[in-house]
Structure 1
Amino acid sequence: MTLTNILPTRGGARVPAVGHQHAPISDPGMYLLRILVLISISSRATGDLFSKATKSRSDDLHNSVFDFIIVGGGTAGCVLASRLSAVPEWRVLLLESGDEENIDYDIPGVPTKDYRPILWNYKTERNAFSCISRPSGSCEIKTGKVLGGSTVVNNMKYTRGSKSDYDGWHNSAAAASLDWKFGNLLEFFKASEDNGDYDVLMNSHYHGRGGEMHVQRFKHVDRYMEVFTAAFGEMGLKNLDINANVPEAVVNNQFAIANNTRLSTNNAFLKPIRHRKNLVVKTGATVTKIVISKQEKSVEAVLYEYEKGKERPAYAKREVLLTAGAINNVKILHLSGIGPKAELKKLNITTIHDLPVGLNYQDQVTTGGLAFSINDVAPVSESQIIADFKTWFQSRSGHLASVGIGQVSAFVQLYENSKGPDVEYVLEGNFVRSDKFLLTNISVAVAEEHSLPISYYNLVNVYPVLLRPKSKGKVLLNKRNPKYGRPTIQANLLKENEDIETLVDSIDIALQLLDTKELKKAEIKFAPLDLFPCDRIKNRDQWNCIARHFTKAMSNPIGTCRMGDSKEDSVVDYELRVHGIERLRIVDASVMPTHVRGGIFAPTMMIAEKASRMLIKDWRESKNQFYNGR
């Protein structure tokens, strides 16, 4: 017997389904009673996963039944929780593995991506073509493990990608994919947006006001921002809005900030509505399994762990929404019996539905080893740093109220047949003690490691980021410890020869910066880095070697639950419903078939906005129901 076998009926007949999903349960009391019957019967008969709930009191059981369960309180999860809980009749549960966000993470100049307690610290598997000289021959993949997810640890940059990226998701054989063409997605980008720069906002076709996510440029502009902007200008790039579908630009980027403070999706969408009585948010809660009826292929509940070894169930009357990211989604689905049958069989996991979950893994990629040194920067004293922190906490101003040189980047179209930029030149400042320069060449690791806030810098790391890499990999469960071990990430970065060729081409262009009048006038030079084992190789072969040894993953993983019209090569349909499984959707960057030419922060918010609109449309009880998304 399953939950779906005992759903309430009307006049002796089963409640008809709404589209692909089961109809809502109109009588919560009856629903609870029937869950109790289910638990009693199933625990006596099989002693299955529900058996731990048999001793629960009825009020505890009532508190474990929700209309929607959102698995993952990250970028998409916070948006969904805000939108769905705006319908007062719906009870919403948001489960997040990490903890609450701390105000210290909101300081723009603080490099949160190095703070391990709020990160999923994953590593790629070793191979012979990338990350060779990184520790253990692996690249790190750092995503947020905190309420707000990666919006707490990312660079805050607001970039959407190009029109051609989204239009490329359209499949002419699938009419539903038309909804994912760029022209049909603009309203969902603008739904969240509150643009604070009036020169950008003048282009109302692309931008809007009134959303929860405030985006704008930092007010502070330092000398070297102007130098690098002018240097890219010498190379032919104009200062344009990259979110207005232009192929090339040097950009003083917009960021997700408000009052010089990081604005995560937690701060923007969740904190203002935490008072809603129909919204329950649980942190420190890691979902270990989605419970699915094998007979009806319908989701019934989730199991989540609040202490190691202690699990609780939560029951979904309408849908479970998976928003745990491209890596953790795979782990949860595989443990639940959804994934490639051959892989699940190796781990003795019963396959409920054979789908290509975990395949099509993609991440944007760059390389370390390309850095420029600035000679006339005064040393930073401890007293100055303390004073700057006090200034930020008192007035949200000062040195820590920006990301320094990181405000500038350049998008370049390398090849004529491209439909948008191929590479983004990301600039990242770092302060390296002058004695390290004097004693010896510094290592790539020292050049990248932040010992001070990123707004202090005498060295600029230049990262040419491949925005749409061709190489693809896969994510699998840990063979030794599937439940608690880190997933196996075979990222295959730079496996395709086209990727390494594009990366080396982009380095050639970056080096031309040193020949510009602006950088020469400012006496900015190539930093003395220790590039062993590539130090004795010359020219293009040397940079090929450097790229393979000092590969850097951008921690923007996508694609493992890609959307499409066939279960042979996709996991969800164009309404984000998992093929063959009822009442389960995936709503985050893992559904993206290919990368967009920018970060994944803004596109993930867009996906969540679109999904919330779908859910409200599918589950509203009558045409007369009024819904106000604000």
Structure 2
Amino acid sequence: MLFNIRRPSKSIVFLACLALVNGDLYSRATKSKLEGKKIKNSVYDFIIVGGGTAGCVLANRLSAVPEWKILVLEAGEEENIDYDIPGVPSKDFRPIVWNYRTERNGYSCLSRPGGSCEVRTGKVLGGSSVINDMKYTRGSKKDYDAWHQNGQIGSLDWKFENLIEYFKMSEDNGDYDVLMNSFYHARGGEMHVQRFKYTDRYMEVFLGAFTELGLRAIDINTNVAEAVVNNQFTIANNTRLSTNNAFLKPVRHRKNLSVKTSVTVTKIIIDPNEKTVEGVLYEVDKGKEESAFAKREIILTGGAINNVKLLHLSGIGPKDELKKFNITSYVDLPVGLNYQDQVTSGGLAFSLGEVPAVSETEVIEDFKSWFENRSGPLASRGINQISAFIQLFENKIAPDVELVLEGNYVRSDKFMLANISVQSAEETHLPLPYYNLVNIHPVLLKPKSKGKVTLNKKNPKYGRPVIQANLLKETEDLNALVDSIDIVLQLLNTTEMKRAEIKMAPIDIFPCDRLQNRDQWNCIVRHYTKALSNPIGTCRMGYNSTHSVVTHNLRVHGLERLRIMDASIMPTHIRGGIYAATMMIAEKGSKMILNDWKESKSSYFEN
């Protein structure tokens, strides 16, 4: 039997860990064959905690080595085809979502339910790649290069010029005009990227209006500062392509790959003397725990919120914080600090006038079209396909805000929209391609405000983590959003918008209705704040354990054989969604692991 033990003395420690987890079952000198088999079946080379965006990529890459035995543990269920219809916003499917909320504060989300904002991440194989908007935006070169300022990382490996190969590694770009730029784009990877072929009248109107404001239609992934974009999406045959569908499903047949769903990892098993990670405990049913052990490494890919919870429960985090919960501290690290999420606001919407009514029969027929041949309006995201990237601050050569367009169908008599609440304007009543109202959300791509994540005070093990997001705490963030709203309002003066008779929608903006001009928009943004559910930073990468959690090789400071490989390691936000960047991190991380272990043949002790 093989155990991952570097020194002969560690075999005693490892067996002691087994004994602690399973009583005296495995500490007996004369184990039965059944007991021996159970131990053998619970030992793997690598354990991936979280089968989400990054976890599926890692499972594919690591299981490609036939001698390695890989285990993926995912709290969610298998992905359903219903989630793959582009025109249906799957973030509303509650069973596949971690539905977290931020804590109340005095400067954001004031008129949202409970005075807090929702943070929704994916709880399903494929993670947030199953519920996100599928947009393929990488961020700016300036974002990645900035991570190296003041030597914060201690390595140049994460400069953009050294990362582009990992973006391209999994990319299969299907738009030839984009693919012509071979420095930025590639074909042949697992993740197919393409624009939707479906367009409608109002997409053309808004594209034209932004062009009138001086924005060029150009690929945003080529490090440009401003652009109006008919976005590329991670789709194949007009179907959502999650990392589960792209990376994991095609290799599920591999005999060395095990995937367990509907299980929650509750603790990382640590040898306190050697400061080495040995395995994990996970629950199949509430209260029923099983164990798994890693001969080589454990890799966390649970995201910026769930990683924090698991690490804290395992004794890895701020010592003073863990002390509040009577948790023994093994490594004192700033886990949970540096929380960042992109932020936007509701309350800014345009009405499209007399849009033909949408009948139930029409929608049913469109669903049939999609299921039968992947065609029709549902093989698109309507006006949501359009966005504009704008630069507010000079000399940055990178966008500061993305103007995200979101269509919605609001039912009202004769389509005369009147006194619509912000909530009604945002609620999804029909699939995305059917809309008579367009919300424009100015997304602050690189916010200054930072927060933290801690354990639930009443129920640390099963309760939702406490997210003190501090959205809009920094006045600079508020000012940037309001500045971008001023730009959006200029659309109303364009020829395209006037010709289409598009006007401001009469949104009920209480309690801001008595204010005027900038004071009113300041009020609206603070009251109707929205978190983008792109959390990062809680396990940030850096060169020392005072200000960071992992090294530039993604190893947790002060512990052996534990790495983190998802968006939680990002020191600061990038100017785009975190989907493409998370895949890149997983690609780069898997290459690190392959390089570290492919030459090693003496990493475990044979017993």
TM-score normalised by length of structure 2: 0.95
* Maintained 8 Å contact 2:354/2:415: no
Cα distance in 1 for residues equivalent to 2:557 and 2:138: 28
Among 76, 86, 91, which residue is 1:113 paired with? 91
SS of residue paired to 1:257: strand
What's the offset of the Cα at 1:61? 2.0
Q: What one-letter code is carried by the residue in structure 1 that aligns with 2:18?
A: I
User: For 1:142-176, what per-residue CA distance to the aligned partner results, in whole angstroms no more than 9, with x for missing partners?
Assistant: 00000000000000000000000000111454785
Among 544, 549, 556, which residue is 1:571 paired with? 549
Name 1:181's counterpart in structure 2: 159
Name 1:559's counterpart in structure 2: 537
Residues 49 and 149 (structure 1), Cα distance of their counterparts in 2 relative to 1, 3 Å cut: farther
* Maintained 8 Å contact 2:407/2:435: yes
* Maintained 8 Å contact 2:19/2:26: no
* Maintained 8 Å contact 1:366/1:553: yes
* Maintained 8 Å contact 2:353/2:415: no
Corresponding position: 1:542 with 2:520: yes
Corresponding position: 1:581 with 2:579: no
Cα distance in 2 for residues equivalent to 1:40 and 1:160: 47
Among 289, 297, 304, which residue is 2:267 paired with? 289
SS of residue paired to 1:179: coil
Among 389, 393, 400, which residue is 2:367 paired with? 389
* Maintained 8 Å contact 1:408/1:426: yes
Residues 537 and 307 (structure 1), Cα distance of their counterparts in 2 relative to 1, 3 Å cut: same
Cα distance in 2 for residues equivalent to 1:358 and 1:347: 15
Name 1:370's counterpart in structure 2: 348
Cα distance in 2 for residues equivalent to 1:200 and 1:154: 23
Q: What one-letter code is carried by the residue in structure 2 that aligns with 1:613?
A: K
What's the offset of the Cα at 1:177? 2.2
Among 33, 39, 44, which residue is 2:18 paired with? 39
Aligned ranges 1:78-97 → 2 under 5 Å: 78-97=56-75
Q: What one-letter code is carried by the residue in structure 2 that aligns with 1:244?
A: T
Corresponding position: 1:434 with 2:412: yes
Residues 49 and 333 (structure 1), Cα distance of their counterparts in 2 relative to 1, 3 Å cut: farther
Residues 588 and 40 (structure 1), Cα distance of their counterparts in 2 relative to 1, 3 Å cut: closer
Name 1:467's counterpart in structure 2: 445
Aligned ranges 1:200-349 → 2 under 5 Å: 200-349=178-327
SS of residue paired to 2:305: helix
User: For 1:367-388, what per-residue CA distance to the aligned partner results, in whole angstroms no more than 9, with x for missing partners?
Assistant: 0000001113111101001100
What is the CA RMSD across the aligned residues, in angstroms?
2.3
Cα distance in 2 for residues equivalent to 1:583 and 1:439: 59
What's the offset of the Cα at 1:414? 1.1
User: For 1:273-322, what per-residue CA distance to the aligned partner results, in whole angstroms no more than 9, with x for missing partners?
Assistant: 00000000000011011111111110011011111111110000000000
Name 1:20's counterpart in structure 2: none
Q: What one-letter code is carried by the residue in structure 2 that aligns with 1:450?
A: T
Q: What one-letter code is carried by the residue in structure 2 that aligns with 1:460?
A: V
Q: What one-letter code is carried by the residue in structure 2 that aligns with 1:180?
A: W
* Maintained 8 Å contact 1:39/1:54: no
User: For 1:200-221, what per-residue CA distance to the aligned partner results, in whole angstroms no more than 9, with x for missing partners?
Assistant: 0000000000000000000011
Name 2:465's counterpart in structure 1: 487
Name 1:498's counterpart in structure 2: 476
* Maintained 8 Å contact 1:96/1:147: yes
SS of residue paired to 1:142: strand
Q: What one-letter code is carried by the residue in structure 2 that aligns with 1:414?
A: L
Cα distance in 2 for residues equivalent to 1:249 and 1:165: 17
Cα distance in 1 for residues equivalent to 2:474 and 2:370: 45
Cα distance in 2 for residues equivalent to 1:145 and 1:230: 38
Aligned ranges 1:163-174 → 2 under 5 Å: 163-171=141-149, 173=151
Residues 376 and 570 (structure 1), Cα distance of their counterparts in 2 relative to 1, 3 Å cut: same
Residues 267 and 352 (structure 1), Cα distance of their counterparts in 2 relative to 1, 3 Å cut: same
Q: What one-letter code is carried by the residue in structure 2 that aligns with 1:226?
A: E
User: For 1:501-531, what per-residue CA distance to the aligned partner results, in whole angstroms no more than 9, with x for missing partners?
Assistant: 1011000111111111101100111011110
Cα distance in 2 for residues equivalent to 1:471 and 1:172: 20
Aligned ranges 1:117-128 → 2 under 5 Å: 117-128=95-106
What's the offset of the Cα at 1:553? 0.3
Name 2:604's counterpart in structure 1: none
What's the offset of the Cα at 1:621? 3.2
Residues 437 and 475 (structure 1), Cα distance of their counterparts in 2 relative to 1, 3 Å cut: farther
Corresponding position: 1:421 with 2:421: no
Name 1:18's counterpart in structure 2: none
Structure 1 gap ranges (5+) = 16-30, 624-630
What's the offset of the Cα at 1:39? 3.0
Structure 2 gap ranges (5+) = 602-607
Aligned ranges 1:394-405 → 2 under 5 Å: 394-405=372-383
Name 1:627's counterpart in structure 2: none
Q: What one-letter code is carried by the residue in structure 2 that aligns with 1:7?
A: I
Name 1:514's counterpart in structure 2: 492
Aligned ranges 1:156-167 → 2 under 5 Å: 156-167=134-145
Q: What one-letter code is carried by the residue in structure 2 that aligns with 1:100?
A: E
Name 1:63's counterpart in structure 2: 41
SS of residue paired to 2:236: coil
Cα distance in 2 for residues equivalent to 1:166 and 1:424: 18
User: For 1:110-166, what per-residue CA distance to the aligned partner results, in whole angstroms no more than 9, with x for missing partners?
Assistant: 010111110000000001100000000010000000000000000000000000000
Residues 185 and 376 (structure 1), Cα distance of their counterparts in 2 relative to 1, 3 Å cut: same
Identity of aligned residues (%): 70
What's the offset of the Cα at 1:415? 1.5
Residues 349 and 49 (structure 1), Cα distance of their counterparts in 2 relative to 1, 3 Å cut: farther
SS of residue paired to 2:536: coil
Name 2:5's counterpart in structure 1: 7
Residues 601 and 315 (structure 1), Cα distance of their counterparts in 2 relative to 1, 3 Å cut: same
* Maintained 8 Å contact 1:43/1:54: no
What's the offset of the Cα at 1:417? 3.1
* Maintained 8 Å contact 1:436/1:442: no
Select between 207-216 and 438-447 the one with higher mean Cα deviation: 438-447
* Maintained 8 Å contact 1:118/1:146: yes
Name 2:328's counterpart in structure 1: 350
SS of residue paired to 1:499: helix
SS of residue paired to 1:393: helix
What's the offset of the Cα at 1:439? 7.6
* Maintained 8 Å contact 1:372/1:525: yes
* Maintained 8 Å contact 1:42/1:48: no
Cα distance in 2 for residues equivalent to 1:445 and 1:175: 42
What's the offset of the Cα at 1:56? 6.9
Cα distance in 2 for residues equivalent to 1:425 and 1:278: 45
SS of residue paired to 1:416: coil
Q: What one-letter code is carried by the residue in structure 1 that aligns with 2:207?
A: T
Name 1:25's counterpart in structure 2: none
Name 1:22's counterpart in structure 2: none
Name 1:606's counterpart in structure 2: 584
Q: What one-letter code is carried by the residue in structure 2 that aligns with 1:83?
A: R
Name 1:628's counterpart in structure 2: none
Residues 442 and 617 (structure 1), Cα distance of their counterparts in 2 relative to 1, 3 Å cut: same
* Maintained 8 Å contact 2:352/2:437: yes
